[in-house]
Chain A
């Protein structure tokens, strides 16, 4: 028995089973020729070129594993490494492209929805704590826009700046006490003004203030360019109210035409 290549097998069969030698055949002649044929089938298949004429015309199912030493050739290219089933995102190329339009790009983008932020939005220089702005939720209906304690708000319009609103007026009112009832022309944080008697008024705040607030008053007896001497004072001061009194130069309480008071408070 021997294993032959296809060409050699054909040559052996044609030689050993030739017409000229048929008179000398024995049983062994055919027996061994058949054994050689049988044994050579798999080696012939193994060495066959199945890429050209003998490419597989039908599907092939391998019940076990197919191993390749050089790779898998697809019409669109060659695969030389196995697909691992899962891939690390970091292994992809082109990660710097903006492939996810649903995300905000670091180079600048516009959000189409709301943005919540728990930390600070700031320049990025150094530690963020206390720098820039953030938002603080107080309750379901109260949110605070917070300017960090290391931060100053600058208006580029004129370069003016604030790092506190302590300088903001906490209340004001302008009223005419010569009408009946008196006429409130403008007010902020004043819920009610009570006309106690001539030249005496009590202002009730909408939101309480601390006791040691600042109050600047002004009054004039007329509403035109003339002056009718009068002097106003914020007399008593309580968290929820303050007194506003007006006297003329003879210390008589009067109802004055123009009465202004502004109030500033730390609270």
Chain B
């Protein structure tokens, strides 16, 4: 026998088992038609249009079973598709999928098997608002840049600069250094200058800032027993009146020098700051003795007498310990 299409089988039945030739119907007519039907079942199932003409109206289950004719080898259980699977489901349409989007043509490998890199549109939009967009963003929290030690392990400091990771050497920009639990340093790289856009003033070093200053009135104290009133001070721990017109001024512990070669500029006036413009009582102020912790201030009038002046302004400039000293001015002797 042979595999035949349904149309052929039907034609053969109508021809060989026709009503008007019942007397001529042989056993073969019956048998061969039935054998053809049986023999063509799989063939006709395979070529049928199961998407439009016929559709599976019930669930289909492909089960794993054994084939007794193949030594009970395992078979079945797999659905093989060469073009894909079309998900004509409510859920798929609810996702807004249409047309080819409803087709699955590659296998889903399961969780833990899909590469993030292979996802499409990775550079489109802002799918991760929890990250900083390189095109500009706002952080709502802190940003750690490294430069600290935790459990004995040093975490390298990283730089913030205009060139970021593309800078050739680590001198441009800023980085951070955690010195102690509550002490942090922000470093400006040695090739970096602080600039104020308001007037484009720049700052390459902090050495030019006043190291300390004090303003005091030596004619009276605020409290009984005091003979000096400190009106303003910075990095000054204490001022001690040694005698009339003679004072010792002590730096705060974190502002002491490891040398006495710093600059003290002083100005004194015999009258106060609440008078008129004519109030001027010439006195001379000078700082002679200077050490890391303390410097002196003496004030004399024109007659060379030590006097307690009403207005005394002193500002100190110098190179603190640990700071790379700038080159000292060279000395040129005129010929």
Contacts and interface: CB of A to CB of B under 8 A. Distances in A.
B234 interface: yes
A124 B81 contact: no
Interface in B53-104: 55-64, 75-86, 88, 91, 95, 104
A60 B178 contact: no
B318 to A, nearest CB: 11
Contact of B232 (A80, A212, A245, A251): A212
**Which range contains the number of A residues in contact with the other chain?**
35 or more
Interface stretch (B35-43, B218-226, B239-247, B291-299): B35-43
A184 B63 CA distance: 101
A89 to B, nearest CB: 8
A91 interface: yes
A216 B267 contact: yes
Nearest to B88: A61
Interface string B124-139: 0011100111111111
A58 B267 contact: no
B26 interface: yes
Given A132-B184, A150-B182, A151-B184, A14 B136 contact: no
Contacts of B232: 210, 212-214, 265-266
A92 B119 contact: yes
Contacts of B78: 51, 68, 70-73, 78
A79 B176 CA distance: 51
Given A68-B79, A115-B132, A62 B56 contact: yes
B319 to A, nearest CB: 8
A19 B26 contact: yes
Interface in A195-226: 196, 200, 202, 210-217
A158 B207 CA distance: 9
A85 B95 contact: yes
A131 B59 contact: no
B273 interface: yes
B135 A150 contact: no
Contacts of B143: 117, 119-122
Contacts of A109: 134, 164-165
Interface string B280-298: 1010000000000000000
Contacts of B144: 122-125, 128
Interface string B142-181: 1111111110000101101001111000010010111001
Given A17-B34, A19-B28, A131-B178, A100 B131 contact: yes
Interface string B14-56: 0000000000001110110011011101110111111110011
A108 B159 CA distance: 9
Contact of B163 (A94, A110, A167): A110
B253 interface: no
B31 A94 contact: no
B278 A18 contact: no
A99 interface: yes
Interface residues of B, number: 153
Given A10-B39, A95-B116, A234-B267, A155 B204 contact: yes
Nearest to B53: A58
Interface in A208-267: 210-217, 231, 233-237, 242-243, 245, 247, 249, 251, 262, 264-266
A72 B273 contact: no
Nearest to A161: B206
A186 interface: no
B333 interface: no
A226 to B, nearest CB: 14
B334 to A, nearest CB: 10
A181 interface: no
Contacts of B207: 158, 160
Interface in A49-83: 49-51, 53-83
A123 to B, nearest CB: 4
Contact of B116 (A97, A215, A236, A243): A97
A132 B171 CA distance: 18
A213 B233 CA distance: 9
A202 B126 CA distance: 60
B134 A104 contact: yes
Given A77-B106, A91-B112, A264-B210, A97 B142 contact: no
Given A18-B31, A64-B56, A74-B107, A91 B79 contact: no
B249 to A, nearest CB: 13
Contact of A10 (B35, B61, B132, B134): B35
Interface string B179-212: 0011111111110100000000001111101111
Given A93-B113, A111-B164, A216-B267, 14 more contacts: A10-B35, A75-B82, A93-B114, A93-B115, A108-B165, A117-B138, A117-B143, A120-B143, A121-B142, A122-B142, A124-B145, A196-B277, A211-B273, A247-B280
Interface of A: 6, 9-10, 13-14, 17-19, 21-22, 25, 30, 33-34, 37, 40-41, 44-45, 48-51, 53-85, 87-89, 91-95, 97, 99-104, 108-126, 128, 130-133, 147-148, 150-162, 164-169, 196, 200, 202, 210-217, 231, 233-237, 242-243, 245, 247, 249, 251, 262, 264-266
13 contacts: A6-B42, A10-B1, A14-B35, A22-B27, A50-B46, A56-B45, A61-B56, A70-B78, A76-B105, A118-B140, A122-B142, A130-B182, A235-B279
* 7 nearest CB pairs, A to B: A113-B136, A124-B144, A125-B148, A70-B77, A125-B178, A79-B107, A116-B138
